[in-house]
Amino acid sequence: MCFNVSMLDNKNKIALKVKKLSHFKGELPAYQSVWASGFDIRAQLELPVTLSPLQRDAIPTGLIFEIPPGFELQVRPRSGLSLKKGLSVPNSPGTIDSDYRGELKIIVINLSDKDVIIEDQQRVAQVVLCPVFQAQLKWADNLNATERGVKGFGSTGV
């Protein structure tokens, strides 16, 4: 789906209902700049979480989302945390389907060679609302040929 940027303005938004759980503290997640594609999501922790190198954990957000049909939420790493601390989202982008009504938990991994501490209220990931199209799968005996054909990994060069 492509849009001409001149057709969009800051008023074109899709309603996304958010429910706070009892352990949630703070304000609604927020976009950090006018044209940001993702809003930052914060950890809701009783105690800090320390991740050793290559360790993973599911970080609670204290939020449940009612995602409109035809959309998903994608959870992505925050670039600053990835560069500076080695913190990432291993299933990036993580998909939250529109029929899920449980707490959003962010799977994070420490890809650095040092322990990383995640504090309560730390912005741990960004979340993007994306349109979804389901495929209508059909068996086929023949597929259209392409110039690339069956050439796989690395076949298009470095």
Give residue-wise pLDDT tens across range 110-156: 999 999 999 999 999 999 999 999 999 999 999 999 988 888 888 77
Res 9: pLDDT: 53
Closest CA to 2 of 131, 120, 119: 131
Res 130: pLDDT: 96
Res 119: pLDDT: 98
Q: What is the DSSP letter of 147?
A: S
Averaged pLDDT score across all residues of the chain? 92
The stretch 102-117 carries a mean pLDDT of: 98
What domains can you pick out in the chain, each with its CATH number? 14-131 (2.70.40.10)
Count the Cβ atoms, other than its own, within 10 Å of residue 136: 5
Confidence category of residue 10, pLDDT binned at 50, 70, 90: low
Helix and strand numbers (H, E) in the chain are 1, 12
Q: State the Cα–Cα distance between residues 84 and 77, nearest whole angstrom.
A: 12
